[in-house]
Structure 1
Amino acid sequence: MAQSQQKCYADKRRQPLSFEVGDHVFLKISPRQGLMRFGKSGKLSPRFIGPFEILERIGEVAYRLALSPQLSGVHNVFHVSMLRKYEPDPSHILDWVDFEVDECASYEERSVQILDTREQVLWGKTIPLVKVLWRHHGVEEATWEREAEVCSKFPDLFENT
């Protein structure tokens, strides 16, 4: 009985998402599976790229998008759950041209340089940390990571130090 009431309440609040031909939408992307950066979720990773124009509606929940030549390896038909309505605000637009998006609409997050180092002192041990600047992110979004993990994944960062 309680589940039925909850479903009824949720159904009243749910609005079906649909777009028209010619609308612009953002496309959802995600970091490549298995490349979870140092055991953390990709909270700094971009979630949507675009905007892209809708060329045609295919069935009830699929849309064909006008993708750029850089995304030629990605299939151009997407489920409505992968799309978000485009709000005309220049600050929402992510420069997706530099991304290397593969056929499953994902990309690999790469480090650019080490900004700082420090040691985290715990009860019985000391953990060396490095502050890493990530590609497609500003200095204010740099993160502290364990030095050993960064060294094993990105040895080229430690060649100059």
Structure 2
Amino acid sequence: MAQSRQKSYSDKRHRDLEFAVGDRVFLKVSPMKGVRRFGVRGKLSPRYIGPYEILERIETLAYRLALPLKLVSVYNVFHVSNICKYVHDPEHVLVYEPPELQEDMSYEEFPVMILAREV
């Protein structure tokens, strides 16, 4: 009885995750505690990497992702528990402005913003 009661509590919050081909998702770097994957180490390292595009749905719970060349040694099919939906945010886009080079191939550095100040 206790097990069925706990199952009913869990089923109220349970939702099936489904992604479509072409969606962008984040990939979980370390699915289990103590397991290091993709060469990412340390407790301050990011938990998710990406976003990556879904190429195809293998089965109900497996998806094939388009990984970059630096992750060529990683198998590109992942369980749905290891991916997280990416919601597009304009703040995620980084604007790259190349430095203005002088004739002697040097450039001038200057601070963009002061974040904190101590007196």
Number of residue pairs matched?
86
Per the alignment, residue 12 of structure 2 pairs with: 12
Q: Counterpart amino acid of 1:18? A: E
Q: Taking CA–CA contacts closer than 8 Å with sequence separation of 6 or more, which of the two structures ends up with the larger relative contact order?
A: 2
Pick closer, same or farther for the CA change 1:48–1:74 going to 2, 3 Å: same
Output the CA distance in 2 between the equivalents of 1:9 and 1:15.
Answer: 13
Alpha-carbon distance, 1:91 to partner: 5.4
Q: Which runs of 5+ in 2 are unaligned?
A: 94-119
Q: More helix by proportion, 1 or 2?
A: 1
Q: Does 1:48 align with 2:48?
A: yes
Per the alignment, residue 82 of structure 1 pairs with: 82
Pick closer, same or farther for the CA change 1:92–1:50 going to 2, 3 Å: same
TM-score normalised by L of structure 1: 0.48
Q: Counterpart amino acid of 1:13? A: R
TM-score normalised by L of structure 2: 0.64
Q: Which runs of 5+ in 1 are unaligned?
A: 94-161
Superposed CA RMSD in Å reads 2.1
Q: Counterpart amino acid of 1:21? A: V
Q: Counterpart amino acid of 2:75? A: H
Q: More strand by proportion, 1 or 2?
A: 1
Output the CA distance in 2 between the equivalents of 1:89 and 1:81.
Answer: 23
Pick closer, same or farther for the CA change 1:9–1:15 going to 2, 3 Å: same
Output the CA distance in 2 between the equivalents of 1:73 and 1:90.
Answer: 31
